[in-house]
């Protein structure tokens, strides 16, 4: 009986911790700010992404691009993409970059 209570407590703790991790990982920011053009999968196959000629995050050039280059594009904008510096916190921008890297795998 005690073992079941401990397992239940661990499951509840895990359920509480996971949403906090997802927020810190940039998923929510990416979903709200980037996915409308770049898509949930990062391929930029959305109508808005196609119209604006948004980059797919899976192109070899972006996969190989250093973090500083992608960070600069997020902060300062690129082509028709808006600049997010001053609109997003540094932590949000870093989280989005980290999430983009997971989409590239």
pLDDT digits (tens, 9 = 90+) for 64-101: 999 999 999 999 999 999 999 999 999 999 999 999 99
Is residue 3, in this structure, part of any structural domain at all?
Answer: no
Per-residue model confidence (pLDDT) at position 24: 55
Is residue 1, in this structure, part of any structural domain at all?
Answer: no
Is residue 10, in this structure, part of any structural domain at all?
Answer: no
User: Can you give the pTM of this predicted structure?
Assistant: 0.75
- Rounded Cα distance between 42 and 102, Å, is 10
Give the chain's radius of gyration (CA, Å). Answer: 17
Per-residue model confidence (pLDDT) at position 41: 97
Give bridge partners of residue 78 from the DSSP assignment. 81
Per-residue model confidence (pLDDT) at position 45: 95
Is residue 84, in this structure, part of any structural domain at all?
Answer: yes
Per-residue model confidence (pLDDT) at position 52: 94
- Cα–Cα distances (Å) from 57 to 28, 37, 96, in that order, read 17, 11, 12
Q: Which domain holds residue 78?
A: 24-103
CATH number at 62 reads 1.10.760.10
Tally the domains of the chain: 1
How far is CA 45 from its chain centroid? 16
């Amino acid at each position: 009986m005690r073992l079941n209570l401990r397992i239940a407590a661990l499951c509840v703790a895990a359920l509480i911790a996971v949403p906090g991790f997802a927020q810190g990982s940039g998923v929510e920011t990416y979903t709200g700010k980037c996915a409308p053009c770049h898509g949930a999968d990062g391929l930029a196959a959305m109508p808005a992404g196609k119209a604006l000629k948004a980059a797919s995050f899976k192109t070899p050039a972006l996969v190989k691009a250093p973090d500083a280059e992608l960070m600069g594009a997020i902060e300062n904008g690129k082509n028709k993409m808006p600049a997010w510096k001053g609109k997003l916190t540094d932590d949000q921008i870093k989280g989005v970059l980290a999430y983009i890297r997971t989409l590239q795998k």
